[in-house]
Amino acid sequence: MPESMTLESLQALIDGSPFLRFLGLTVTSIDPGASTVVLEATLRPELERRGASAQWHGGPLAALIDSAGDYAVALNLGAAVPTINFRVDYLRPALTATLTATARVRRSGRTVAIVDIDVADAEGRLCAIGRACYSSQPG
Amino acid sequence: MPESMTLESLQALIDGSPFLRFLGLTVTSIDPGASTVVLEATLRPELERRGASAQWHGGPLAALIDSAGDYAVALNLGAAVPTINFRVDYLRPALTATLTATARVRRSGRTVAIVDIDVADAEGRLCAIGRACYSSQPG
Amino acid sequence: MPESMTLESLQALIDGSPFLRFLGLTVTSIDPGASTVVLEATLRPELERRGASAQWHGGPLAALIDSAGDYAVALNLGAAVPTINFRVDYLRPALTATLTATARVRRSGRTVAIVDIDVADAEGRLCAIGRACYSSQPG
Amino acid sequence: MPESMTLESLQALIDGSPFLRFLGLTVTSIDPGASTVVLEATLRPELERRGASAQWHGGPLAALIDSAGDYAVALNLGAAVPTINFRVDYLRPALTATLTATARVRRSGRTVAIVDIDVADAEGRLCAIGRACYSSQPG
């Protein structure tokens, strides 16, 4: 069984992806025992829904959800895994410059892992929720 | 009942979103009768999964799916609509510089509209498919 | 704003549906403040995956998820609501005669309500999880 | 590579499940080359939404979708497969005594298979659509 990743090694994995670096993803906390990862993303002009709206476009939120779920699986597997599918529900416009994604593995089996991801704004209001299914085999 | 949008007015709507402009979205064809829209996206370094991999990250694919579905609804409503939720299934790595998303409205009701979106690479191989639910009220 | 339903009125609503009566659904607890409903279902031979397997077929589990979510919304709306869509993830075979579904509303807006539903077996093992979207208008 | 199933062997597989027999599922056509299966279900009083409503409850529709997708995968694998997850979107009330589910495999990989399922009433109106992900390993 692989060792759990550290916050630093998870951050290095994220920084290896041009797109995730562009999203400005930072790992803010990990809990290998609870298979939970918390990531933070910061708005930049290219990620806005409309010009000068200070509202996040839904696309980067979906990407944040997918990534947070992936790294929650990676935490105990030691490597990123292919996403099989995921669902996003948008609950409220995301209007703060920083967003927090909390991902928790609900079940990690031999074939697939299922993860729930909550995205909240800087005031703790839930903006979007995701449920994602990943292959259990790094690839 | 609102008039259908033209290819030009749909493109203008897309260009009003910094994120979609960043994705380089181009409307390549519309069919108001079939409630179908075809969009093209072009890879740029910030959208890659890994550096110099020439592979699209799954996040921009999800964003492309959500947007193509939204504009298929907009085509006959005359305005973009809020996404309620969507599902993405990843079928194959997306490895060509251009991708095509074909969105078709399956049902447009008073409350919500349901759209299917297929994303294919430049050789016509299906890379990801989406199913999305939008509010029928522009907002 | 409508009054919250009681456990008895929710049970009466369920008993008005031949299919839910057939599933043997019992409301075991409600929490209107937390918008949470717990339902119990009991296996009968017609609901088995294979003959004499004592394993639930996935179909009734999906129906249990959809119903539990619906009644969590009904709890504070006062009436059952149309399901717009839902997702089920199967985590483990369901092998005990009784199953418990716990449904919790994540967001109740003007147009739609989003609910999470966990299905556990009699030993508390998670067998399936659902995420469902309902119209906020009874109908 | 296993041989494709025949209409008769697929029907026998379905008849081995008490729940599917209860749903009255009949295989009406198969197309192994296109990985497509068409099933028919017939309403019985226990499957109604409300008493004497002649309207199908959404639960059996979800079960029909899950099963049709499963047998579309089974057609070329030779055996039923575990469902990993699926999504159902309800488009219209299902009000005819017979319903038809058409399932088509969109992608069959080493780990999972993805299937689209359309459910139409006896007049050909689309009532619900499903998208489902199955394990590629019979189990």
- Cβ C38 vs Cβ C29: under 8 Å: yes
Q: How far is D30 from chain A (nearest CA, A)?
A: 27
Task: Tell me the DSSP string of chain D.
Answer: -PPPPPHHHHHHHHHT-HHHHHTT-EEEEEEGGGTEEEEEEE--GGGBSSTT---B-HHHHHHHHHHHHHHHHHHHHSS---EEEEEEEE-S---SSEEEEEEEEEEE-SSEEEEEEEEEETT--EEEEEEEEEESS--
- The residue-averaged pLDDT of B26-39 equals 96
Task: Enumerate the β-bridge partners of residue B9.
Answer: none
Structure tokens at A27: 């790992």
In this prediction, residue D106 has a pLDDT band, given cuts at 50, 70 and 90, of very high
Does position A38 have pLDDT exceeding 70, yes or no?
Answer: yes
Chains contacting chain A through 3 or more C-beta pairs under 8 A: B, C, D
Does position A46 have pLDDT exceeding 80, yes or no?
Answer: yes
Does position C2 have pLDDT exceeding 80, yes or no?
Answer: no
Task: Tell me the DSSP string of chain A.
Answer: -PPPPPHHHHHHHHHT-HHHHHTT-EEEEEEGGGTEEEEEEE--GGGBSSTT---B-HHHHHHHHHHHHHHHHHHHHSS---EEEEEEEE-S---SSEEEEEEEEEEE-SSEEEEEEEEEETT--EEEEEEEEEESS--
Matching residue, tokens 């199953």? C99
Q: How far is CA C37 from CA A20, A48, C27, C30, C73, in A?
A: 39, 38, 7, 5, 9
Q: What is the pLDDT of residue C1?
A: 55
Q: How far is A111 from chain D (nearest CA, A)?
A: 7
Q: How far apart are CA C73 and CA C133, in angstroms?
A: 10
Chains contacting chain C through 3 or more C-beta pairs under 8 A: A, B, D
Does position C54 have pLDDT exceeding 80, yes or no?
Answer: yes
pTM above 0.90, yes or no: yes
Q: What average pLDDT is seen over chain D?
A: 94
Contact B84 A89 (CB under 8 A): yes
Q: What is the pLDDT of residue D2?
A: 67
Q: What is the pLDDT of residue D138?
A: 83
Predicted confidence (pLDDT) per residue in A78-127, tens digit: 889 999 999 999 999 999 999 999 999 999 999 999 999 999 999 999 99
Judged by DSSP in three states, B74 sits in helix
Structure tokens at D119: 């459910």
Does position D1 have pLDDT exceeding 70, yes or no?
Answer: no
Higher pLDDT, C85 or C17: C85
Provide the pairing of β-strand D98-108 with C126-135.
unpaired
Q: How far apart are CA D33 and CA C22, in angstroms?
A: 39
Does position B47 have pLDDT exceeding 70, yes or no?
Answer: yes
Does position D66 have pLDDT exceeding 70, yes or no?
Answer: yes
Identity of the residue numbered B106: R
Contact D85 A135 (CB under 8 A): no
Judged by DSSP in three states, C13 sits in helix
Q: What is the pLDDT of residue D137?
A: 85
In this prediction, residue C50 has a pLDDT band, given cuts at 50, 70 and 90, of confident
Residues of B with CB under 8 A from a CB of D: 87, 89, 91-92, 106-107, 109, 114, 116, 126, 129, 131, 133
In this prediction, residue A1 has a pLDDT band, given cuts at 50, 70 and 90, of low
Q: What is the pLDDT of residue A29?
A: 97
Interface probe, candidates A107, A111, A137, chain D, greatest D C-beta count within 10 A: A111
Q: What is the pLDDT of residue C41?
A: 96
Counting residues of chain D whose pLDDT is more than 90, the rounded percentage is 80
- Neighbour order of strands in the sheet with D112-121: C26-31, C36-42, C98-108, C112-121, C126-135, C83-90, D83-90, D126-135, D112-121, D98-108, D36-42, D26-31
